[in-house]
Structure 1
Amino acid sequence: MTTTDARPATRTLERLDPATGRPGRDVVCADADQVGAAVHAARDAFAGWRATSPAERAGLLREAATAVRAQADELGDLLCSTTGRLRGEARESAAVAADLLDEAAVAGLGRAGRVLAGAPAAMDVVRREPRGVVAVVTPWNDPYPAAAGLIAAALVTGNTVVHKPSERSDVPGVRLAGLVARALPAGVLEVVSGDAATGEALVAHDDVALVAHVGSSAAGRRIAAAVGQRGARALLENGGKDPLVVDAGVDPARAAEQIATGAFANAGQLCTAVERVYVVEEVADAVVAELARRAEELVVGDPADPATTTGPLVDADQLAVVAAHVSGAVEAGAQVVTGGHRLDRPGSFYAPTVLDRCPDDVPLLREETFGPVAPVVRVADFDEALRRASASAYGLAATVLTPRLDHALHAADVLEVGTVKVNAVFGGAPGGSADPRRASGGGAGFGPDLLDEMTVRKAVHLEGL
């Protein structure tokens, strides 16, 4: 594996420790020539990797999973110090990455294609073949599972990969890729470091057949335009503005627990974080009061401290977005129940915040916030909650809390999102697949259908042999 760290610096990005505000590790950005060298190495390795048997590819992925699992604590500590993810959660995230490598090694053995019912003297098959060089571009907020899932799916199906982790989590991303690459032949997995300019050079390269991207919707739109110009494929899981609906008859304590979990986990910096809350008026007072109590009980502090339950935002830029969204909502009439301000301490800390009676036409309810904020909108009934939850440019996921089966089934039918969760904000069985909608992207980003996204179909007709 080639990394940009060993090459002469062209540009560097200064990164700060989000918990202290002190200088962290700078990122050395690859230029277009360095990106091209990584793509060419992956392209040159493709023929040999494609010819490697699926069982051998799977075995090498299992070796990589073992290596990642053995270093899960180190990887977690790197993520904690780089992005402010709680240390325990960060270590668990690294272990999940190892699990995804193992999962792909098993799932990848069973998706070779299908035999068709053709003429008796002929054979017709549909083969699934690797696409070639896959660019995997991943975010900072939960980088290990995002990278491991996409990289493993690409590799097990016979593709080679060039990976660009987010510049906000570059050190953890390079370390994870290095552990995986050690188990593989040279060139099969390359990694480049850098910012948007580096990413643009990668996704625009003519030898990249597929770009698999998890990240912002703005970046996803640029990627879709770049690859569309040359007939390549884009697989996009982008931003979300996920709603949570609280129906009448739901226990307020249970509702508040689910909202708090979804809105405050990782300081709200998850793709499927709860960013909008629609509560039926009948239970709204009790839900808001209990939610505020839970927010005030959170321990905000050093992410490496086991007593901490909420860490910092990733950097000052993200802090500014959160502060602007909250202040804009308050100016428009939202009521601060608790929080609503930056904490007076070093680092990028924002108080866990609950806002009540939020108006619809503010960025806090329209744009991705990515912060520890639970904005509550009161509605008359369940149907109004669904209508307003659906009124979004995004379509990643949604959660519905209800005691009624008919309401649960109706919500699953009408909510235009990739994933509908009923009575649990997080969770789901392994092997599921979902397609985000609208600004949230398109194409299956996980599960067995992800393997199909990494391949192309070819029909073969054999006769007269």
Structure 2
Amino acid sequence: MQREYSLIINGEQVAGGRGTFDVINPATEEVVSACPYATVEQLNDAVDAADEAFKTWQYSSDAERKQALHRIADGIEANAAELAEIIVKEQGKPMFLAQAEVGGAVAWTRYTADLEIPVEVLEDSDNKRIELHRKPLGVVGSITPWNWPLMIAVWHIMPALRTGNTVVCKPSGLTPLNTIMLAEIISKEVPAGVMNLVTGESGIGSAITGHEKIRKIVFTGSTPTGQAIMRNAAGNLKRLTLELGGNDAGIILPDADVNAIAEGIFQTAFLNMGQTCAALKRLYVHETQYDQVCDKLVELANAQSVGDGMAEGTTFGPVQNKDQFDLVKDLVDDARENGASVLCGGQPLEGKGFFYPPTIVANVTDDMRIVTEEQFGPTLPVIRYSDVDDAVERANSCDVGLGGSVWSSDIEGAQKIAQRLECGTAWINGHAEVLPHAPFGGCKMSGFGVEFGQEGLLEYTVPQTLNINK
């Protein structure tokens, strides 16, 4: 029997005021479940509940919040199998990757629980003591995407709760079910109104970003949507953390051991079928190694088992939705028509589901759409270069800057190159790795603000200087 899903408003499970909409399995194109469709009035109810709950939750003790987050982690852990299955069915990723997402959500929640909120002493003299405190902001609006739906919801929600804020979350309408279950788990461990969730598309997102009672928006998604949020949030000068689009470049230096790095390059380019903001999306390879790199990547791509994430042995799932599937197809076709060489993949699989195999595209030029646009899918353009300085300039030529990487046997030399990349995180001999203790965010049109670690935690607070005259 299919379970029912509800909105979470003021600690209660509530039916959607606009009925339901269908959540589709990208591997089968069949309906996973009906999802409640909220009205703007129900969003207002959720914000009012969060605003009321904040009046007391903001004064909860550090110990109380830490214990609540650890209980939430326990709840995620206890429901890990069901959460992973829901993720596979609505998002499409293989089961092993969904299990890793659930495990990461548990670990991130526990790490966030144990973070400290510092009180900094600026002066302590005979006559005066000045302290810098951090206070919660109020109601936080979280808008999450469809690629890592559980993990990113945890990234948004847990630091908000840890710092004494209340939350209204709106997950993507493509993958809302696991986030609803997360909200149910959280709601059992915090007072009514501290955690609220609404689902639906038309009008809900803009109502959240413009709502006068919401003090901060955390958004992970596209740059155009981030720009719209920033405009809409101006009314009450909301705080913003925007983790927007990326078109991450990787540069392989001529001294790199191709056999040693090929697996890492492939896995970080095609992580989650390439549907990861910080995946490697443009690979610059020195002309002396170009053919060898292409051959190794093709070998790794051809070794993947593409199929339904619920099937045993699947290593590579579908693209999550038809719009993204069509975009990937269009970008590869455009590259092919403009003279690029599609070395493997390059055509959708026949039958049901949005299946597009891992695709390596060679002999591309910087002006092709597959290079200038973020593919956010299972294809990687491999770009030839002859001069390292030129490769750095070309890597920096786009208007986004989320991540970048340098691959080399010379760590010191690679570090000098990596520090020249215009991006929020630069990896050496790796890519796309995010860690709970390492701040992560973008520059240029990839957004602003950081997540993770104490720096990310403090983004959910406002500083208050306490000036004490003795």
Q: TM-score range by the shorter chain?
A: over 0.9
Asked if 1:343 corresponds to 2:349, the answer is yes
Structure 1 regions of 5+ residues with no counterpart?
A: none
2:320 equivalent in structure 1: 314
Contact 1:125–1:460 (Cα < 8 Å) also in 2: yes
From 441, 451, 456, the counterpart of 2:457: 451
1:250 equivalent in structure 2: 256
Q: 1:25-78 deviations in whole A, cap 9, x for unaligned?
A: 233332211111000000000011011111111111111110111111110100
From 32, 43, 48, the counterpart of 1:40: 48
Separation (CA, whole Å) in 2 of partners of 1:284 and 1:171: 43
1:365 equivalent in structure 2: 371
- CA distance 1:366–1:171, change in 2 (3 Å): same
From 64, 74, 78, the counterpart of 2:82: 74
Separation (CA, whole Å) in 1 of partners of 2:385 and 2:206: 43
Contact 2:268–2:430 (Cα < 8 Å) also in 1: no
How much identity, in percent, do the aligned residues show?
33
The one-letter code matched in structure 2 to 1:104 is T
Residue 197 of structure 1: how far off its partner (Å): 2.2
Separation (CA, whole Å) in 2 of partners of 1:159 and 1:225: 23
The one-letter code matched in structure 1 to 2:149 is P
Asked if 1:105 corresponds to 2:113, the answer is yes
The one-letter code matched in structure 2 to 1:297 is A
- CA distance 1:436–1:4, change in 2 (3 Å): farther
Separation (CA, whole Å) in 2 of partners of 1:8 and 1:134: 21
Contact 2:139–2:216 (Cα < 8 Å) also in 1: yes
Contact 1:341–1:351 (Cα < 8 Å) also in 2: yes
Asked if 1:150 corresponds to 2:150, the answer is no
Q: 1:342-370 deviations in whole A, cap 9, x for unaligned?
A: 11121000121111011211221122211
From 277, 280, 289, the counterpart of 1:283: 289
From 181, 190, 203, the counterpart of 2:187: 181
Q: 1:406-436 deviations in whole A, cap 9, x for unaligned?
A: 4312222210101111012244654111331
- CA distance 1:66–1:327, change in 2 (3 Å): same
Contact 1:401–1:423 (Cα < 8 Å) also in 2: yes
With the length of structure 1 as denominator, give the TM-score of the two structures. Answer: 0.96
Q: Superposed, which structure 2 residues align to 1:283-432 within 5 Å?
A: 283-427=289-433, 430-432=436-438
Contact 1:4–1:192 (Cα < 8 Å) also in 2: no
Larger mean CA deviation between 27-36 and 64-73 belongs to 27-36
1:141 equivalent in structure 2: 147
With the length of structure 2 as denominator, give the TM-score of the two structures. Answer: 0.95
From 26, 31, 45, the counterpart of 2:34: 26
Contact 1:332–1:359 (Cα < 8 Å) also in 2: no
1:132 equivalent in structure 2: 138
Separation (CA, whole Å) in 1 of partners of 2:253 and 2:450: 30
- Measured on the aligned residues, the alpha-carbon RMSD in Å equals 1.7
Separation (CA, whole Å) in 1 of partners of 2:17 and 2:38: 8
1:84 equivalent in structure 2: 92
Separation (CA, whole Å) in 2 of partners of 1:4 and 1:165: 18
- CA distance 1:270–1:87, change in 2 (3 Å): same
Q: Which structure is higher in helix share? A: 1
Q: Provide the secondary structure at the position in 2 that maps to 1:144.
A: helix
The one-letter code matched in structure 2 to 1:455 is T
Separation (CA, whole Å) in 2 of partners of 1:356 and 1:149: 36
Contact 1:18–1:348 (Cα < 8 Å) also in 2: yes
- CA distance 1:366–1:119, change in 2 (3 Å): same
Residue 376 of structure 1: how far off its partner (Å): 0.6
Separation (CA, whole Å) in 1 of partners of 2:202 and 2:412: 46
Separation (CA, whole Å) in 2 of partners of 1:8 and 1:176: 18
1:17 equivalent in structure 2: 25
Separation (CA, whole Å) in 2 of partners of 1:117 and 1:452: 21
Q: Provide the secondary structure at the position in 2 that maps to 1:117.
A: strand
The one-letter code matched in structure 1 to 2:328 is V
